[in-house]
Amino acid sequence: MTEPIIPWEEKVAKVRSEGVLGMQLYAVFTTPTDGLGPVLENMGPHLAYQKKLEEDGVLFAADNEKVWSGEGMVIVRAASPEAAAEIAAADPMHQSGARSYRVRPWLLNEGSLNLRITYSDGGRAIA
């Protein structure tokens, strides 16, 4: 038996009606196309692009692996899947061809963020 497919807009509305956040984000999965060498060559412009996205409030999060093979995942705020794809396509890592990418909707429903700020020394920690 084939299960019904729920349109994305209905899914968002449903989870929000259940009292969870339902923040629509997009996950960009990025994979090396020709090994780690080209990825490392493009790391500087890529990180500068990521910092700019962060400063502009577009970048929600990016991953960091314990053992890194050149793959990555970035979560962005965007108005649509097409807008998220434009953000991903503009990354110098993807423009250079060092990595390919795919974009997938990601709905943030539950979880928490613990932030500690100490006023005396300006210290901060995320737990």
pLDDT along the chain (127 residues), means of 10: 82 90 94 94 95 94 81 94 97 97 94 88 86
Q: What is the model's pLDDT at position 9?
A: 85
Q: What is the model's pLDDT at position 1?
A: 65
8-126 belongs to CATH 3.10.450.50: no
Q: What is the model's pLDDT at position 115?
A: 87
Q: What is the model's pLDDT at position 69?
A: 87
Separation in Å, CA 89 to CA 84, 97, 103, 113, 126: 9, 10, 10, 29, 30
* Residue 117: CB atoms within 10 Å: 9
Q: What is the model's pLDDT at position 113?
A: 84
CB under 8 Å to 86, separation ≥6 — which residues? none
Q: What is the model's pLDDT at position 36?
A: 92
